[in-house]
């Protein structure tokens, strides 16, 4: 299909014609291209699968998983929006919304520079939200990694992410012992040992993201702390972060944190930082970052831009008067 994907090649779904603009990525399975859907001039991403039985099987698995998720509000669930599947010149093509870049590409552009804890928090919160919805749908993603977490539009919406690539997904009820799933750096102990597994393997992969990839190796702890009055708040945040990782990376899958438990962990809710709001600019910035991702029904205190007493949450003002 090389001629089809070299700009300005075209793809045809029968109901729509797509003008290929660029190649977004490629691998053993096939290629992903950025296209403009001519009928409404919408920019989309099209994943073209190679004509090989093993890859066609993965395409069928992905379509089955995406079909089960079709009824969900993918924006609220932090899952990629899938539009349709079509055939073009014998190739299976999956049309998705166009997203910005993967976390892998993002870190590569930063020269693998680690993220700050306050930048990691919204990413973990959104991915736990995605896994929570997948768990409720009875779906194991089975391939969560940096390459499969996409920034939606980092310039417009910093750190807003979505999960992509359901080529290894399966129903929790149909999990088969001995399945060759998950990338090695993110592979859960039960998969390595050939034991029965559940959706808990996705939580292990999520724990590996910040533990082994978003935070760099060999950096001194002081790298993450400014030497000023914010140090106590940052140290408290770091301790809560480590506590959360321990729960996410429990060797016993039955004791491993669930997505719902991660969403309620103090590192995510920032309950441990509330009392420090009047004294730490770091804490204020943490709340401002998370406000972008707060659900309107969320009970977590929110910082208002014009709230009194140096940006203290309106809901907490009475507390400080005491």
List residues forming the annotated binding site for ATP. 47
Is the bond leading into 146 cis (omega within 30 degrees of zero)?
no
The secondary structure of residue 131, as a DSSP letter, is H
Helix (H, G, I), strand (E, B) or coil at 22: strand
In the structure encoding, which two tokens stand for residue 210, read together?
């910040």
Which residue out of 143, 165, 202, 237 is catalytically annotated? 143
Q: 222 and 285 in contact (C-beta within 8 Å)?
A: no
Cα separation of 215 and 218, whole Å? 10
Q: How many residues does the chain have?
A: 322
Buried b (16+ CB within 10 A) or exposed e, 262-283: bbebbbbbbebbbebbeebebb
Q: 102 and 149 in contact (C-beta within 8 Å)?
A: yes
**How far out from the chain centre does Cα 203 lie?**
12
Query: Counting beta carbons within 10 angstroms of the beta carbon of residue 168, is it exposed (0 to 12), middle (13 to 18) or buried (19 or more)?
Result: buried
Q: Is 143 a catalytic residue?
A: yes
Q: Which residues are catalytic?
A: 143
């Amino acid at each position: 299909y090389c001629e089809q994907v070299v700009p300005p090649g075209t793809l045809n779904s029968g109901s729509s014609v797509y003008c290929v603009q660029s190649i977004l990525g490629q691998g053993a399975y096939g290629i992903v291209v950025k296209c403009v859907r001519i009928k409404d001039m919408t920019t989309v991403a099209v994943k073209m699968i190679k004509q090989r039985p093993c890859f066609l099987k993965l395409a069928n698995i992905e379509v089955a998983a995406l079909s089960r998720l079709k009824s969900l509000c993918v924006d609220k669930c932090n899952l990629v929006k899938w539009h349709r599947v079509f055939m073009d010149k014998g190739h299976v093509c999956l049309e998705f919304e166009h997203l910005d870049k993967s976390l892998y590409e993002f870190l590569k552009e930063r020269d693998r520079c680690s993220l700050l804890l306050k930048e990691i928090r919204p990413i973990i919160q959104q991915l736990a939200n995605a896994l929570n919805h997948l768990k409720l749908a009875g779906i194991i993603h089975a391939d969560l990694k940096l390459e499969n977490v996409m920034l939606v539009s980092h310039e417009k919406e910093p750190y807003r992410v979505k999960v992509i690539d359901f080529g290894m997904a399966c129903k929790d009820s149909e999990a088969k012992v001995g399945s060759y799933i998950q990338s090695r750096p993110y592979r859960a102990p039960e998969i390595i040992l050939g034991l029965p597994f559940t959706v808990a393997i996705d939580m292990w992969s999520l724990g590996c993201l910040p533990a082994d990839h978003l935070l760099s190796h060999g950096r001194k702890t002081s790298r993450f702390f400014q030497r000023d009055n914010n140090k106590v708040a940052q140290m408290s945040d770091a301790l809560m972060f480590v506590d959360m990782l321990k729960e996410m990376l429990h060797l016993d899958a039955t004791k491993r944190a669930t997505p719902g438990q991660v969403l309620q962990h103090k590192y995510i809710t920032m309950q441990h930082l509330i009392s420090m709001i009047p004294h730490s600019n770091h804490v204020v910035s943490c709340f401002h970052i998370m406000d972008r991702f707060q659900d309107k029904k969320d009970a977590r205190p929110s910082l208002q831009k014009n709230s009194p007493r140096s940006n203290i949450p309106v809901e907490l003002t009475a507390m400080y008067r005491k």
